[in-house]
Structure 1
Amino acid sequence: MRIIHVAHQQLRKYGHNRVSWGQKLYFGLIRNGHCVQAFSDRDVAAFEAPMGIRDLGKSKANKRLLQTVEAFEPDLMIVGHCDYISNETLAEARKLSPNLVIAGCNNDPLFVPENVDKIARRVTEVDAMFVSTGEQELAQFTGHRAQLLHMPNPVDSSIETFDASLCEELPTDLLFCSKETAHTSRGELVTQLKQRLPDHLVFHTPGSFEQPGVWGRDYDRALADSKMGLNLNRQEGLHWYSSARMAQMVGNGLLTFTHASGGFHEFMPEETLVYFNDLDDLAQLVTEFNQDSFKRRYWADKARTFFHQEINSTLYAQYIVESAMELPYSHPYVWLQ
């Protein structure tokens, strides 16, 4: 199948970027044997703009995408986080390629009003809309062209390559990486958790408490130095919503703690993710697993194995293509209920 993948490819990061779900999707599409043409809207806008001023290149980026559609003749276009590409351009793409199917993907949370607006605009034009929150939360977007589907945050065997579950000792006992402070009070929980945990437990929190954040290779090294990871979303309670950090930590074999309200127990096996309900619960669980290396490694290995087998980028990409093209499912995807 011929596929145009439109997303922010972060070309001008020159390798110093965070792990990208869009990159994992691109890898998965290729592994599944598709001919994929990548189109990075923001980078094209900057390349085409006068003096490289990106906002001046929006119009040109839309024209270049239509030029790409005409030249490439895709069967499917997947549009991710590409705010520069307008719905009008997608409609024009259909005129150029009348059999074209267009799928939208959104990996940002629904508690951010701006993101809700982005999804609401896209569902009027795309044929399928994949959102990283569970389908229970998507009712607000019904009644338009797009069918609404959940998509998980996958691991990728070429990216999540470390396995902390094999290690008895590592420099960091518990890791929490963050940078966002809007729409959240999770910093208060982290502060109180630090006070509750034993002094000998090494809790590393890059991006918080005036510590610099970690990106690229530094982020990889932080993961590789850690036994356990804390998956705190900016807000909890959205069905099947999690930051991408959960897949990044689990995929690298870190025992991962996440809030019970996300509902991941519905498709995750027992003794994989560690669910907590409140601060007291979390402090007790972290201390318990830190004291029991065998238990920590057993749960982490079981979770890592499940993610790499069932929530990997190859299956993820296959699911998006099959759903968008209305093909029979070739795999019993665990997130389909």
Structure 2
Amino acid sequence: MIVGDLFGGDLADNHYMIMPKLLHGFARAGCAVHAFNDREVARTSTPFRSSAFGRPAANRKLIAVCRRFQPDLLLLGHCELISNETIQSIRGEMENVRVAYRNVDSLDDQPNLDRIRRRAKVVDAIFVTTALPLPTFGSDNTAPSYFIPNPVDQALDGGRCFAHSNQENDLFFALDEGHANTERANLARSIARRQPSLRFDIRGIDGRPSLRGAAYLQALTNARMGLSVSRQNKHYLYASDRMSQYIGNGLLTFVPRSTGFNDLFSEDEVAFFGEREELLDKLTHFEEHDGERRRVAEAGWRAAHAMFASERIAKYIIERSFDQPLSESYPWPTEISNQTAVRPISRSSGDF
């Protein structure tokens, strides 16, 4: 059972995000899956359509749903309306249930660390999308912590940009509105300024509105290449989910080498770069050599759909949550805990 913000008031704006992909993955892995959207349940439980007023009802209803559904695994997303006391009540009634917490935000963000510390008190496993030695989440925490990559889903990541050369744009990069003065936005402006021949679709800044839902996917697949730059590019194997969206839909994806993803992908699958000049040189090269762009993009697409398939990540979450032996040698680091990492990493974010 998945608890979080999916299939609710966003009206399908976020239908390709991580939680729907995991739901698909669990279903393909043979699980009966039920989704509980705490925000939507809270809003519809009060005539005021208020999450704050509906919070007690959402907690009561989650307990009621668990009684009816009897889940083996409760996977928590960013369901901040659900209290730890509610999770404890569910555990008290269903002594065999396992509870896992999935967090995909940056570990540099203090409020996010606080969210993890709060959940660490009541869950059996924590899954994060950064392969770092994790901070201590509190002396009362006994939950091991593991890395998972952002999933790619065969149904939701259906683009094949490598198969075409008639896209309207050469390079796609999307930001949420409100990030106009960030390092990422300035990098995008610099590319557009220094390579005016490049048809660059920048979203979320300079009067170009951000996109959601099918409109976002249509714009993404109307480009040949994608720029994957996150808020933080210095942590081992951390990237926003735009990276999996771009590679998963067949764009040749440009990724900072400082993220360490070159340990999972080769230079023949992803366009890695260090300093800004290398990025600009590679953009020029692939703009002029479309056959090579298509070849590398397809290789990356095949690698991502194999390595990061949503059902494979769902299976890994199940095995770790139930303390089972791993059924395969997973390609990503599997021995992350609160104290240790696969290897020490010291990287700068690069000269963007």
Q: TM-score, normalised by structure 1?
A: 0.94
Which AA in structure 2 matches 1:311?
A: F
Alpha-carbon distance in structure 1 between the residues aligned to 2:208 and 2:308: 32
Corresponding residue for residue 193 of structure 1: 191
Corresponding residue for residue 309 of structure 1: 306
Corresponding residue for residue 341 of structure 2: none
Which AA in structure 2 matches 1:141?
A: F
2:323 pairs, out of 321, 326, 330, with: 326
CA contact (8 A) 1:50 1:56 kept: no
Q: Secondary structure at the match of 1:12?
A: coil
Alpha-carbon distance in structure 2 between the residues aligned to 1:140 and 1:152: 21
Alpha-carbon distance in structure 1 between the residues aligned to 2:15 and 2:200: 21
CA contact (8 A) 1:104 1:126 kept: yes
CA contact (8 A) 2:178 2:204 kept: no
Q: Secondary structure at the match of 1:50?
A: coil
> Where do 1:1-337 residues align within 5 Å?
4-17=1-14, 19-134=16-131, 136-141=132-137, 144-179=141-176, 181=178, 184-197=182-195, 199-336=196-333
Residue 180 of structure 1 deviates from its aligned partner by 5.4
1:140–1:184: structure 2 CA closer, same or farther, 3 Å change rule? farther
Residue 184 of structure 1 deviates from its aligned partner by 4.2
Instruction: Please identify, of 81-90 and 139-148, the stretch whose mean Cα deviation from structure 2 is larger.
Output: 139-148
Alpha-carbon distance in structure 1 between the residues aligned to 2:325 and 2:182: 40
- Deviation string for 1:116-167 (max 9, x for gaps)? 1111111121110000111x24144375221100011111110111111111
Aligned-residue Cα RMSD (Å) equals 1.6
- Deviation string for 1:5-39 (max 9, x for gaps)? 11111412222336210000011111111111211
Residue 62 of structure 1 deviates from its aligned partner by 0.7
Alpha-carbon distance in structure 1 between the residues aligned to 2:150 and 2:97: 26
1:142–1:281: structure 2 CA closer, same or farther, 3 Å change rule? farther
Instruction: Please identify, of 21-30 and 161-170, the stretch whose mean Cα deviation from structure 2 is larger.
Output: 161-170
CA contact (8 A) 1:142 1:148 kept: no
Q: Secondary structure at the match of 1:141?
A: coil
CA contact (8 A) 1:184 1:235 kept: no
1:315–1:142: structure 2 CA closer, same or farther, 3 Å change rule? farther
Q: Secondary structure at the match of 1:256?
A: strand
Aligned residues: 332
Alpha-carbon distance in structure 2 between the residues aligned to 1:89 and 1:145: 19
- Deviation string for 1:243-269 (max 9, x for gaps)? 101011101110000111111111223
Q: Secondary structure at the match of 2:278?
A: helix
Which AA in structure 2 matches 1:185?
A: E
Alpha-carbon distance in structure 2 between the residues aligned to 1:301 and 1:16: 27
Alpha-carbon distance in structure 2 between the residues aligned to 1:58 and 1:42: 8
Alpha-carbon distance in structure 2 between the residues aligned to 1:78 and 1:18: 18
Any stretches of 5+ residues in structure 2 without a counterpart?
A: 335-352
Percent of aligned pairs with the same amino acid: 33
Q: Which one has a larger percent helix, Structure 1 or Structure 2?
A: 1
Alpha-carbon distance in structure 1 between the residues aligned to 2:167 and 2:205: 21
Which AA in structure 2 matches 1:195?
A: R
- Deviation string for 1:208-249 (max 9, x for gaps)? 112111111111111121000000101210111101010111
Alpha-carbon distance in structure 2 between the residues aligned to 1:75 and 1:10: 22
Residue 185 of structure 1 deviates from its aligned partner by 2.2
Alpha-carbon distance in structure 2 between the residues aligned to 1:184 and 1:120: 28
CA contact (8 A) 1:137 1:238 kept: no
Any stretches of 5+ residues in structure 1 without a counterpart?
A: none
Alpha-carbon distance in structure 2 between the residues aligned to 1:332 and 1:87: 34
Residue 168 of structure 1 deviates from its aligned partner by 2.4
